[in-house]
Amino acid sequence: MSSLRILVPIKRVIDYAVKPRVNKAQTGVETAGVKHSMNPFDELSVEESVRIREKKRAPGGVEDICVISAGPPKAQDVLRTAMAMGADRAIHVDVKEGEDLEPLAVAKMLRRVVEEEKSNLVILGKQSIDDDANQTGQMLAGLLGWAQATQASKVEFGEGDVVSVTKEVDGGVETVRAKLPVVVTTDLRLNEPRYANLPNIMKAKKKPLSKKTLADFGVSNERRLKVLKVTEPAPRQGGGKVEDVGGLVSKLKELGAI
């Protein structure tokens, strides 16, 4: 079994617990002064990579866990968090605030990174909770011509570079098997990410973080989708409360729901 060189792409997004507000100009969501953190699905990717090493789940061992994020300088915060969780090193690709990359551009960049880093396993979150696209992992696998296993809830390694992945699908789960190299995307039930403790946060400050630009990987931020406007969804008005079950039934009848 080849030893694993794992690449974990992570994204800095508005914290999942924050209710996003559309800005006045209707060009996007208000991000200034809003709490950001690592995309929750990416935490699962980092955790899984670290567990593969800690539990010695891969027969060939784990040689390297590299995290990468493209974004403004603040993206370095989530890279440090990932290193505090156990990643070995990080790459920050500097992209100006507000010039976010589309999934296709991210996938093109990651293809180059994979080639340079000689990665044989890429673990991504299944989707980012800001754009909700659910595309990057599949696009990357397509561009690389690699096998893909999306929405993973279990990843197992066997002899002969075989990776078995249990995937969450509509109505249940499905298991597929492939040989390395593989792209895996994580679903919520894959694991429970750890909290980085203080000693590890301190250690993470000393781990290597290299700074790059898109040009270093020969890609540009070519946008294919133009955002015409961003609006609030039509508000839903609560219809008030009823006193008892009888009131609930008659109200539901009145609304034509039963």
CB under 8 A: which stretch of 68-76, 80-88, 126-134, 198-206 binds another protein?
126-134
Q: In whole angstroms, give the CA distance from residue 232 to residue 17.
A: 18
Q: How far is the CB of 83 from another protein (least distance, A)?
A: 26
How far is CA 155 from each of CA 4, 173, 182, 228, rounded to the nearest angstrom? 14, 13, 11, 40
Q: How far is the CB of 110 from another protein (least distance, A)?
A: 11
34: contact with another protein by CB under 8 A: no
The single residue among 37, 60, 76, 188 that binds another protein, judged by CB under 8 A, is 188
Site for another protein in 207-226 (CB under 8 A): 224-226
Handedness of CA 90, 94, 97, 101 (dihedral sign): negative
138: contact with another protein by CB under 8 A: yes
**182-186 and 12-14 strand pairing:** unpaired
Q: In whole angstroms, give the CA distance from residue 125 to residue 184.
A: 8
239: contact with another protein by CB under 8 A: yes
Give the helix/strand (H/E) hosting 63.
Answer: strand 62-71
Beta bridge partners of 20: none
Cα of 156 vs its chain's centroid, Å: 20
258: contact with another protein by CB under 8 A: yes
**CB closer to another protein, 159 vs 232:** 232
**CB closer to another protein, 202 vs 242:** 242
User: What are 141's two structure tokens?
Assistant: 């696998």
The single residue among 39, 69, 135, 191 that binds another protein, judged by CB under 8 A, is 135
148: contact with another protein by CB under 8 A: yes
3-state DSSP assignment of residue 113: helix
Q: Quote the Cα angle for 143-69-217, to 5°.
A: 50
Residues that bind another protein (rule: CB under 8 A) add up to a total of: 77
DSSP designation for 101: P
**CB closer to another protein, 198 vs 258:** 258
Site for another protein in 158-187 (CB under 8 A): 164, 167-179, 187
202: contact with another protein by CB under 8 A: no
Site for another protein in 12-31 (CB under 8 A): 14, 16, 19-20, 22, 29
